[in-house]
Amino acid sequence: MISTSSLHIDTILKSAAFRLHMTIFVAAALLGAHYAHADSQCITPKPQEVSRVFHQWRTAVASRNADELVNFYTDDATLSVGKAGEPIKGKAAIRAYYVGLLARHPQPVVVSSEVAPGCNSAVVTGFILYRVTGARKGTRDLLGGRFTTEFALVDGAWRIAKHTLGGDERKLDQPFESSQL
């Protein structure tokens, strides 16, 4: 015996309107899954790629061009200098900091570094020294210490999102202890 409710369901399932609605529903679900996957795509950089960008940043420091240097940072980047300094936030403030540092003719030397790639990110850590013009004419000082540079993938380019510079200042005759390296 066939009930009237099963006939009614068969009629609905066979109707063109129902098939159209189901097709639209399935297509929307598939497209939604595709776009959700595209947004969460994870790109892990090769260490050499991050090292190349970091080397370009060091070259920009040596060139003493604050505008070129600030282009390595994200719009909302943070820069911390020294152990007790307040973080510098945003490109304009970071540029202002570099204008002052670049006037001291920094010559950066990375003593050691290590790259840790992540999902749409990478972190470079190590020890850096900057030989800079001293406070008195004809003198040179050292800035240096441990650094951390956090890169983020922004619009297809690796940019610095958070940067902690080794900014411990000392005279040339005051060496860094091996525990600081």
Q: By C-alpha distance, which of 67, 143, 145 is closest to 105? A: 143
Q: What is the pLDDT of residue 53?
A: 94
Q: Which residues touch 7 (CB under 8 Å, ≥6 apart)? A: none
Mean pLDDT of the chain: 77
Express as a percent the part of the chain with pLDDT over 70.
68
The pLDDT-based confidence of 150 (bands split at 50, 70, 90) is: very high
Structural fold of domain 47-180: Nuclear Transport Factor 2; Chain: A, (3.10.450)
Q: What is the pLDDT of residue 22?
A: 46
Q: What is the pLDDT of residue 134?
A: 77
Give me the torsion for CA of 50, 55, 57, 61, rounded to 10°.
160
Res. 92: pLDDT tops 70: yes
Alpha carbon distances (Å) from 69 to 57, 91, 139: 7, 10, 25
Res. 169: pLDDT tops 60: no
